[in-house]
Chain A
Amino acid sequence: KNEVEQSPQNLTAQEGEFITINCSYSVGISALHWLQQHPGGGIVSLFMLSSGKKKHGRLIATINIQEKHSSLHITASHPRDSAVYICAVRSSRDDKIIFGKGTRLHILP
C-alpha cells in the first residue's frame, strides 16, 4: 500500500463545476503539500499545510491531522485548471518527501 493515496486518479468535469481531490496518508507528517504539474513537467507549489485550511483565489486546501486526510477544492473550475494535482507529505520520522501518484484533472469548456 502506498504511503500517500490520492483519489480520483482521473477527473473530467465541465467548466464551472466544483472540484474536490482527496489525499490520505499513513505516515506521521510535519507538513502536507499540494502541487500542480503541467504537461511540460514543471511543478508549482500550491499550498503547504500543517493544520486547518488555506485559501488562495479559487483554490482551497484543508487538512485533518487526526484522520490523516487532506482535500483540495477548486471553485468555478476553468479549462486552464487542467493539470495533474499532486499531494506530497513530509515525513516527520526521516524528512523524506513522499508523493502521491497525482490526479489528472481535465476541465471541458
Chain B
Amino acid sequence: AQSVTQLDSHVSVSEGTPVLLRCNYSSSYSPSLFWYVQHPNKGLQLLLKYTSAATLVKGINGFEAEFKKSETSFHLTKPSAHMSDAAEYFCVVEMNTGFQKLVFGTGTRLLVSP
C-alpha cells in the first residue's frame, strides 16, 4: 500500500534562511506525489505535484521538491523563508486505485521567526 512519512512534526527557521521539509514515501510503483499547505483556519492549497515528468518540481511561492526514487524521498525546499510561509505542510501520495484517492502524511508545522 502507498504511504508517506513526514519525518519532522515541527520545523523552525529564521526569516531569510532555507527551508527543508522532509518526506519519504512507500509505493510499489511510481507514485504521484504532492505537497499541500494549510494556513491557520484555512483549507488546504496545492503547492506542487509530481506525476512522473521532471523530477524537480517547482510550485507556488518559491517552493520546489525533488523526487528521488533511489531514496524514496520527496523533500520540500525553499531558498529563503518568509514570515507568511508559517503554516502546516502535508506530503501526500495518490493511491493506486484508479480513483484519485489521496493519502496524507501527518503534517509538518513550519515556524518562521523574525
- B is a partner of A: no
Residues of B within 8 A of A (CB): none
